[in-house]
Amino acid sequence: MTSERARVTPEGGATEPLAPALRDDLAEARVQRMWQRIDHTPARRSGVLLALATAAVVVLALLGMTRWLAPSGSGQLVLASGNVPAVLAAEERAEAPHFEDGSQITLQKGARVEVLRNDARSFVTALRRGDVTFDVKPGGSRHWIIEAGELSVEVVGTRFRVERQPEATRVSVEHGIVLVRGERVRGGVVRLTAGQSFSLAAPSAVVAPSAASAPRAPSAPRAPSAPRAPSAPASAPAPATTSSLAPVVAGEPVVAVEPVAHHLAEADEARRRGDTAGAVRHFEAAWTRAPRGDTRRGLAALSLARLMVSGNPAKTATTLRSSLADMPSALREDAQARLVEAESRAGNGAGARQAAEEYRRLFPSGQRRSEVERWSEP
C-alpha cells in the first residue's frame, strides 16, 4: 500500500521549479472548465470578448508547457501520487512509497534517501543513513544506482536491501542480480545474486593490521581451536578491508570478482581519469571475454561505440552488430541508433539505411528518431 507520509521535497533540482506549479494550478479538467465558462459567456463588448479569448489562448499555451515540463515528457520517474521525488525520509515510522512504474522503496524508521539524478535512463539516489529495501521493477527502462558511502550498487530490476550504519554498510539481494562497486572492494566490484550479501566495514571498524594480514579464508565461523595461518611480516602493509570482503551465502564464499566484471570496473575508472585509450582497452577485454547472451557483452559494446564511433566507425559498426542480441533492453534503442551513426560515418549508406529501418520497426516512437533519420539520409 502506498504511503503518502514519506516526505518529498523539491530540493536538489530534481525538476524545473515551474513544472510542479503548472501541474497543480492548471490541471486539464480545470482548463476545460475555464474554457467552457469563456465559451458560454455573452459578449457584452468586443473588448471583453477579445480579452477573454486572449486569456484562453494563454491558458492553453501554459497547459502545453505543463505537458512539456511534466515527468511523462521529461522522462522523470514520479511517485504514484504524481510527485517528483527529491528526498524520501522515514522520520517517525517506516514508509513505503510506490512509483508509477511499479517499483517501491521501503524505508525503515530513521532512513533517508536523496535523489541525485532522475531522467528517462537513470534513477540515481544516495542513501544517507538507515535501512532501505529497493524493489525495482524488472525490465524497466531506467538504470538504478544507489550510492551508499563507499559503495555503489547498480541494478536494472531486482529486490535488494541496503543498510548503512556507522559501523558498516551491507547489501543483501533477495532476487535478481546487483553489482556492488567501491575502492575498498577487492577487484573494484562484486556481483551478488539471490540470497547473497556483502558487508563493508567502516574505516574505523577495520581490524588491526596483524589480524588483517592473514590470508583470506571463507567467513564461516571457525572454532576457537582452529589453527591460525602465519601472519605476514610486520613490515608488510596490510590490506585495510580484509575483514569486510567476503560475502557469504550458506557458508560458502562468493567469488569477489571475475574477469569481465574486473575489466568493466577498470574501464570505468579509466574513463573517470580521462584515459580514453585505457577505457577502450578494458572495454574490449570485457567484450571479448563475456559469453554471448551475457548483457555485459552488450554493455561493453555500446561503451566502446561511444568512445570509438568518430575515430573508428567501421569497427564500431561491426562490434555493435555482433552484440545487439546481448544488449540490455534499457540500452537497445541507444545501440540501434548508434549503429546507424557508425554505418553512416563508415560510408556504408546501405548499412545505415538498413539499421535505420530496423530502428523504426523496433522503436516507432523512439526518442532518437530524428537523429536516426539524419544519419540515414542518402
219 occurs within a structural domain: no
From 25, 49, 74, the end of a domain falls on 74
For the chain, give the number of residues.
378
- For residue 43, the enclosing domain spans 11-74
Same structural domain for residues 264 and 352? yes
224 occurs within a structural domain: no
Phi/psi of residue 77, nearest 5 degrees: -85, 125
Share of the chain above pLDDT 70, in %: 65
**Least confident segment among 94-98, 188-192, 200-204:** 200-204
The per-residue pLDDT for 53 is: 56
The rounded Cα 281 to chain-centroid distance in angstroms is: 24
Is residue 82 over pLDDT 60?
yes
Is residue 65 over pLDDT 50?
no
CATH for 186: 2.60.120.1440
Same structural domain for residues 102 and 191? yes
Distances (CA, A) of 53 to 40, 57, 344: 12, 6, 50
The per-residue pLDDT for 47 is: 55
**Integer Cα distance of 16 and 77 in angstroms:** 14
Query: Do residues 287 and 307 lie in contact, with contact meaning Cβ atoms separated by under 8 Å?
Result: no
The torsion defined by the Cα of 327, 328, 333 and 337, in degrees rounded to 10, comes to -30
Which ranges of the chain does DSSP label H, i.e. alpha helix?
18-25, 28-40, 46-69, 71-74, 209-212, 259-273, 276-289, 295-308, 313-321, 332-345, 349-362, 369-375
Burial grade of 356 (CB within 10 A; 0-12, 13-18, 19 or more): buried
Same structural domain for residues 97 and 15? no
278 occurs within a structural domain: yes
Segment 7-13 mean pLDDT: 44
Mean pLDDT of the chain: 74
56 occurs within a structural domain: yes
Q: What is the pLDDT of residues 264-313, one digit of tens each?
A: 888 888 888 889 899 999 999 999 988 888 888 988 999 999 999 989 99
Domain count, the chain: 3
Beta bridge partners of 125: 115, 146
Q: What is the pLDDT of residues 240-256, one digit of tens each?
A: 333 334 443 333 344 44
Q: What is the pLDDT of residues 204-235, one digit of tens each?
A: 544 433 333 344 444 444 444 444 444 444 44
Q: What is the pLDDT of residues 123-139, one digit of tens each?
A: 999 999 999 999 998 87
